[in-house]
Structure 1
Amino acid sequence: MASDLLSNSSTNSSATETSNLEIPQRNLVPAASHSRYADSWNYLWIALMISLSKEPSLARAEESTSVAPIQLELELAEDYRSASVPRCIEPDRKLNFRPVIGILSHPGDGASGRLNNASNASYIAASYVKFVESAGSRVIPLIYNEPPEVLYEKLNMVNGILLTGGRAKSGLYYETVKVIFKKVLEKNDAGDHFPLYAICLGLELLTMIISKDTDILEEFDATDQASTLDFVRNSSIEGTVFQRFPSDLLKKLSTDCLVMQNHHYGISPGKLLANPYLSSFFKVLTTSTDRDNEVYVSTVQARNYPITAFQWHPEKNAFEWGLSTIPHSDDAIQVTQHVANFFVSEARKSLNRPSAREVLDNLIYNHSPTYCGRAGRGYDEVYIFT
C-alpha cells in the first residue's frame, strides 16, 4: 500500500505544481486510515487502563479474603485465652477429699464354702466396695478376726465404717461389731465427724447392741423382694440420707419398687419405739411391708450421731445381678447413687488424716476379687480373706 501511495503522489506532483516539497513518508497514511489506527490505539489504551485499575482492587479483594479469616482466628484465639483463665474455687480445707471407708468382713466365703471352706475365711461382697468407690472413696478391709491391735490401727486410717449384710449374729463377729460401734461413738464424742452405715444385718446387730437385748428381733418374710419405702408421717428428711433426693424420686420410692429387701429378721416400729434405748437413739425414717403384710422398720437415722441404718440393700441395684428381683431401672440406680453420695459426703467431714503410706499399704486394692456370678445367685464378686 505504501508504494502505491508514493506512486500516485509522484504523478500528481508533476501535474499540479502546488508544492515542490517532498512529503515525509510518515505522513503518507491517508487521514481516514490514520483515524482508524488512532481509534484502535485509544481502545487498546482504555482497555489497558481498565485492566490496570482492576488489578489493585483484585489484589485488595484477595488480600481482604485471606487476611479476614486470619484476623478472625486471632481474635477467637484471644477470646479463648481470656476465657480459659482459671477461676476455680479453692476447695474447703476443712473437708477431706481423699476419704477412706473401712468395711468389715463377714465370716465365710459368701458362697456357703463353695469358694473357700477354711475355718478362718471371711469375705466382703465387691458390691459394697464398688458402692462407696462410686461416690469417691477408697476402701480398707477390716478383717473381723484379725488381731485387735491391727483392727485398731486400721480404724485410725479410715473416715467412716460400713457394716454389711449377712447372717452372723453371735460369737466373735458380734463382739467385733460391738467394739467398732463403741469406737464410732467415741470418735464422734471426741469431735471427729465419723459416719457409720449399717446395712441389713448391720441394722439388726445395732438394734441388738443398742437395745441390750439379743432376742429383740422379729421374723419377717422379705427375702429376695423388691419393695417400696413408706416415709414416716411428719418426719423431716433434713440432714438425713434422703435430703438430696429429687422430689420426684422421693415420691417414686413410696409408689414404685425401687429398693431390694433380703432378710428374715427385722424389728417392727412398735417394738422399736417401745424400747427406750432404741427410741432415744434412733428416729425412724421409713417402714416397709413384707409378703405377709407385716410392717417393719426399713431406715433409721441416729438422733445425735452420723449413723444411718438400712434394712434394705442400697448397693445391690447398681452392682449385683444374680437375682432377677433386684431393681435395675434408672430410678433404682439413682437411689443407689444418692445413698452412696450421702455417706461419702459425711466421711469427707472426718478430721482423720492418716499417712498416705499407711493407707496405700492397707487398701483393698492389695487384694483380688473372686468372680462367682456364674452360679446365678448370691454375690457376683467377693473378696475373700484367710
Structure 2
Amino acid sequence: MSKDAVWVLFLVTSFQCLLLSAETHPAILLPNHYNRNTPVTCPAPNPNLYYQPVIGIVTHPGDGATGRLSNTTGASYIAASYVKFVEAAGARVVPLIYNEPTEKLFKKLELVNGVLFTGGWAKSGLYFETIGRIFKKALEKNDAGDHFPIYAICLGFELITMIVSKDNNILEEFCASNQASTLQFVENANIKGTLFQRFPPDLLKKLSTDCLVMQNHRYGISPGKLQGNHKLSSFFEILTTCEDEDDMVYVSTMRSRNYPVSAFQWHPEKNAFEWASSEIPHTKDAIQITQYAANFLVSEARKSINRPVAQEVRDNLIYNYSPTYCGKAGKGYDEVYIFAPV
C-alpha cells in the first residue's frame, strides 16, 4: 500500500471515530446554553427563615489541655472544632461563658438562634447547673413559639440525660474511648425531621457498615435503661445505638419527641476538624457526615424567630477572641479558645 493510500485510510478512520464520539458523547451544554431567552431571576429569600443565624456554644471548665495552656482558676474553653463546625454550615458563634453572671449569660442567650453543648468531663457543680438553666430556658423559648434548637454532643448528651431524668446517677460506664464506629439504626427508626433525613441513601447505608463516626466517652446509657425511665422515654426517641469495645450496647443518637433537641454520643465535629487521634475518620464519607450534621443544626436555627440587634451580636461574637494552637503536643484538641474568669 502506498503512503498516500495509508494517509487517506488514516483520515477516514479518524473521521469515523469523531462521528462515533459525537454520537456517544453529546456536547455538554452549560445551563445558560439551553435557552438564552429565559430571563434570569433571583427569588426573594423566604421571609420565615433567618439567614444570619447565630449559635451559642457553652464553654467548658479548664483550658482543654490539662493545664498546659492555662491553669488559671475559673478559666474555660471551647474547642475550635465546634466553632468551625457551626461556621462550615453558614452560622456564627457567640460563646456562652458558663461561669459568668446568670443575668449576663441570659442576655447573650437572647442573641442566638440555638445552642450547642460540647464534649468534656464536668458533670457537677456550676457547669452542670449552667447547662440545666440554659436547657430549661431553651425549652421555654420553644414553648413560647420560637424554634430554638439544641445540639448536645458527648458530655452534652450525658448531661441532658441526667437533667431530663432528674437522676444524676443514671449514666452507665462504657469502654468507648478513642474509637471509630458504625451507627446502627434501631428497628423502625423514624428519621423524618432528623439530620439523617438529608443523608444520601448510599451514605446512610454506609453508616451501619463502615466506621465513619468518632466515639470518645466512658459514660452513656443503654437502650433498656433509657426506655425503662418514663421521663427519658417520653421525652426522647432513640435513633441509633453502638457497641463499645466490650460489646456493650449504648444509645448513640437520640432526639426529642416534641422539641428540636438532638443528642449525639458521637462527635460529628471531629471528622473534619480534629487531627490528634489516628482513629478519627477523615475519609470523604466521614467528612460528608460532619457537613450534613452541621447543616442540619444551622437549618434548624434558621427557623428561629429571634432577630437580635446586629451590633450586639458583633460585640459578642467569637471573632472577638483568638484561638490558641495546642496541637503540637500531638494529643487532645488542635485549637481552643480560652476565656479568662469573669
Per the TM superposition, whether the score is higher than 0.5 is yes
Give 1:85 deviation, angstroms.
4.6
How far apart are the structure 1 equivalents of 2:115 and 2:190?
25
Q: Which residue of 2 aligns with 1:303?
A: 257
Give 1:138 deviation, angstroms.
0.2
How far apart are the structure 2 equivalents of 1:119 and 1:261?
29
1:96-245 alignment runs, 5 A limit: 96-245=50-199
Give 1:349 deviation, angstroms.
0.2
- For 1:105-147, what per-residue CA distance to the aligned partner results, in whole angstroms no more than 9, with x for missing partners? 0000000000000011000000000001000000000000011
Q: Which residue of 2 aligns with 1:30?
A: none
Larger RCO, structure (CA 8 Å, separation 6 or more):
2
Residue 87 of structure 1: which of 35, 41, 62 is its match? Answer: 41
1:310-321 alignment runs, 5 A limit: 310-321=264-275
Letter in structure 1 aligned against 2:179: Q
Residue 231 of structure 2: which of 277, 284, 299 is its match? Answer: 277
How far apart are the structure 1 equivalents of 2:169 and 2:37?
65
Letter in structure 2 aligned against 1:380: D
- For 1:194-241, what per-residue CA distance to the aligned partner results, in whole angstroms no more than 9, with x for missing partners? 000000000000010000100000000000000000000111111111
Give 1:89 deviation, angstroms.
1.3
Structure 1: 4+ residue segments shifted above 2 A? 79-86
Letter in structure 2 aligned against 1:88: C
How far apart are the structure 1 equivalents of 2:38 and 2:280?
45
The number of equivalent residue pairs is 308
Give 1:293 deviation, angstroms.
0.3
Is the deviation greater in 232-241 or in 130-139?
Answer: 232-241
Query: CA 1:80 to 1:266, structure 2 compared with 1: closer, same or farther past 3 Å?
Result: closer
Give 1:377 deviation, angstroms.
0.7
How far apart are the structure 2 equivalents of 1:352 and 1:150?
18
Q: Of Structure 1 and Structure 2, which has the larger fraction of its residues in helix?
A: 1
Query: CA 1:83 to 1:385, structure 2 compared with 1: closer, same or farther past 3 Å?
Result: farther
Give 1:81 deviation, angstroms.
12
Residue 326 of structure 1: which of 266, 271, 280 is its match? Answer: 280
Structure label with greater radius of gyration: 1
Give 1:95 deviation, angstroms.
0.2
Give 1:88 deviation, angstroms.
1.2
How far apart are the structure 1 equivalents of 2:62 and 2:38?
54
Q: Is 1:288 the equivalent of 2:242?
A: yes
Q: Which residue of 2 aligns with 1:39?
A: none
- For 1:41-90, what per-residue CA distance to the aligned partner results, in whole angstroms no more than 9, with x for missing partners? xxxxxxxxxxxxxxxxxxxxxxxxxxxxxxxxxxxxxx999669530111
Identity %: 71
- For 1:256-276, what per-residue CA distance to the aligned partner results, in whole angstroms no more than 9, with x for missing partners? 000000000000000000000
Letter in structure 1 aligned against 2:203: L
- For 1:325-363, what per-residue CA distance to the aligned partner results, in whole angstroms no more than 9, with x for missing partners? 000000000000000000000000000001110000000
- Report the 3-state secondary structure (helix = DSSP H, G, I; strand = E; otherwise coil) of the residue aligned with 1:261: strand
Residue 345 of structure 1: which of 263, 287, 299 is its match? Answer: 299
Letter in structure 1 aligned against 2:271: N
Query: CA 1:83 to 1:102, structure 2 compared with 1: closer, same or farther past 3 Å?
Result: farther
Q: Which residue of 1 aligns with 2:209?
A: 255
- Report the 3-state secondary structure (helix = DSSP H, G, I; strand = E; otherwise coil) of the residue aligned with 1:254: coil
Q: Which residue of 2 aligns with 1:376?
A: 330
How far apart are the structure 1 equivalents of 2:324 and 2:154?
23
How far apart are the structure 1 equivalents of 2:34 and 2:250?
59
Letter in structure 1 aligned against 2:61: P
- Report the 3-state secondary structure (helix = DSSP H, G, I; strand = E; otherwise coil) of the residue aligned with 2:196: coil
Letter in structure 2 aligned against 1:181: F
Query: CA 1:217 to 1:90, structure 2 compared with 1: closer, same or farther past 3 Å?
Result: same
Query: CA 1:87 to 1:268, structure 2 compared with 1: closer, same or farther past 3 Å?
Result: same
How far apart are the structure 2 equivalents of 1:241 and 1:270?
24
Letter in structure 1 aligned against 2:338: I
Residue 366 of structure 1: which of 310, 320, 324 is its match? Answer: 320
Letter in structure 1 aligned against 2:262: T
User: Normalised by the size of structure 2, how large is the TM-score?
Assistant: 0.89
Give 1:297 deviation, angstroms.
0.2
How far apart are the structure 1 equivalents of 2:37 and 2:149?
40
Specify every segment of 5 or more residues in structure 1 that has no aligned partner in the other structure, as ranges: 1-78
Specify every segment of 5 or more residues in structure 2 that has no aligned partner in the other structure, as ranges: 1-32
- Report the 3-state secondary structure (helix = DSSP H, G, I; strand = E; otherwise coil) of the residue aligned with 1:219: strand
